[in-house]
Amino acid sequence: MRFDIITLFPEVFAPLLTSGITRRAYESGLVEVHFWNPRDHAEGNYRRVDDRSFGGGPGMVMLAEPLFRCLTAIRAARQETHPAPVVFFSPIGQTLNHGSVEQWSSSAGAVLLCGRYEGVDQRFIDEYVDQQISLGDFVLSGGEIAAMALLDAVARLQPGVLGDEGSHQLDSFNPALDGLLDSPHYTRPEVWQGHTVPPELMSGHHAHIARWRREQSLRLTAQRRPELLESARLSGKLSRQDESFLKQLPHGSSEASSGTASKKL
């Protein structure tokens, strides 16, 4: 798959592409990433890419023409029969979630438009943007961080990128977990600052361990993201044993999991 990124600051992506386990996706070519700076397609001595907003107000707006020229160059470089969708990162976009990441991970890629300043001339958005994506109800200084979030989420789902092929299937929100949150994890030493590893994980009994993890997943989801639990219930993904466990949970509990009633900083 190929992602073409329209950005005024391509240099900020360098650590993403060269660090961590997901670099395998970029180094192997499983995920191709190409950068396009609108300034290279702007006219005049100053290569201007923004101007003041009609109607007044603070901030500048990215010009439509350099973006159009940039997109035209991308289309020529991709040489696609079916043009890749243009994605714009925007507060009005659909919130990125696991389901949409999975769809992108099996796609041919996209053109990612990273806005800056007060935004992008609406005429370019209306004419050329196919989809808008948001990371949540907050505003970033530009779309680069959102683009990196999408790239990282997509890259880790590619075959051979993670050390264990099944690792991502146990991620929070994954269908393999019925869309619930993942359970807590522990490693050596067995006792740390007086806190022990839950005995179920030390039992060596695979069925007991699996059930403990399922119950912790249910507990966390009920406490932190009850809407995910309700969605799983409506989809028929909760067993009688699950429902029986949930009925035993104390109402109003705010602890993340058993054994974590207090935290110290």
Digit-coded pLDDT (tens) for 172-197 = 788 889 999 999 999 999 999 999 99
Both structure tokens of 167: 């690792």
The pLDDT assigned to 176 comes to 83
In the prediction, which pLDDT does 260 show?
Answer: 43
Confidence of residue 254 (pLDDT cuts 50, 70, 90): very low
Pairing of strands 2-6, 109-113: parallel
Say how far apart CA 87 and CA 93 lie, in whole Å.
10
Convert the pLDDT of each residue in 125-146 to its tens digit.
999 999 999 999 999 999 999 9
Q: Between 98-105 and 144-155, two packed helices, what is the crossing angle to 10 degrees?
A: 70
Return the active site residues. Answer: 91, 118, 156, 171
Q: Is the pLDDT of residue 258 over 80?
A: no
264 in any annotated domain: no
Q: Burial-class residue 14 by CB neighbours within 10 Å (0-12, 13-18, 19+).
A: exposed
**pLDDT value of position 173:** 81
pLDDT at residue 143, rounded to an integer = 98
Where does a domain end: 127, 155, 183? Answer: 155
Are both 147 and 187 inside the same structural domain? no
Flag whether 104 is in a domain.
Answer: yes
pLDDT, tens only, 207-230: 999 999 999 999 999 999 999 999
Confidence of residue 170 (pLDDT cuts 50, 70, 90): low
Residue 262 resides in a domain: no
**C-beta neighbour count of 111 within 10 angstroms:** 25
Residues 61 and 146 reside in one and the same domain = yes
Q: Do 232 and 193 share a structural domain?
A: yes
Buried b (16+ CB within 10 A) or exposed e, 165-188: eeebeeebbbeebbbbbbbbeeee
∠ CA 222-168-195, nearest 5°, is: 55
pLDDT band at 165 (very low <50, low <70, confident <90, very high): low
Q: Which domain holds residue 212?
A: 172-248
Higher pLDDT residue, 253 or 112? 112
Q: Are residues 68 and 148 in the same domain?
A: yes
pLDDT of res. 109: 98
pLDDT for the residue numbered 175: 87
Asked whether residue 238 is assigned to any structural domain, the reply reads: yes
Residue 265 within any structural domain of the chain: no
Shared-domain flag, residues 17 and 107:
yes
Domain assignment present for residue 136? The answer is yes
Residues 67 and 101 reside in one and the same domain: yes
Same domain assignment for residues 18 and 120: yes
In a domain, 33, yes or no: yes
> Following CA atoms 77, 116, 95, 221 in sequence, which dihedral angle do they give, to the nearest 10 degrees?
120
Tally of domains in the chain: 2
Q: In whole angstroms, what is the distance from residue 247 CA to residue 225 CA?
A: 16
Which is more confident, 176 or 18? 18
Q: What is the mean pLDDT of residues 8-31?
A: 96
With bands split at pLDDT 50, 70 and 90, how would you rate the model's confidence at 162? confident
In SS3 terms, 14-57 reads as HHHHHCCCCHHHHHCCCCEEEEECHHHHCCCCCCCCEEECCCCC
The answer to whether 80 and 105 are in contact (CB under 8 A) is no
**At 169, is the pLDDT very low, low, confident or very high (cuts 50, 70, 90)?**
low
pLDDT at 61: 97
Q: Verify that 104 and 49 share a domain, yes or no.
A: yes
131 and 209 within one domain: no
Last residue of a domain, one of 123, 155, 187: 155
Does one domain contain both 50 and 146? yes
The confidence score (pLDDT) of residue 171 equals 74
Are residue 41 and residue 150 in the same domain, yes or no? yes
pLDDT in the model for residue 252:
56
Indicate which CATH number applies to the domain containing 48.
Answer: 3.40.1280.10
pLDDT at 208: 97
CATH of the domain at 216: 1.10.1270.20
Identify whether residues 57 and 121 lie together within a single domain. Answer: yes
Q: pLDDT class for 164, splitting at 50, 70, 90?
A: low
Q: What is the pTM of this model?
A: 0.88
Asked if the structure places residue 213 within a domain, the reply is: yes
Which of 87, 121, 155 delimits the end of a domain? Answer: 155
Decide which of 92 and 163 is more confident.
Answer: 92
Residue type, 186: Y
In the chain, pLDDT over 70 holds for what percent of residues? 92
Give the angle subtended at the CA of 2 by the CAs of 14 and 124, to the nearest 5°. 90
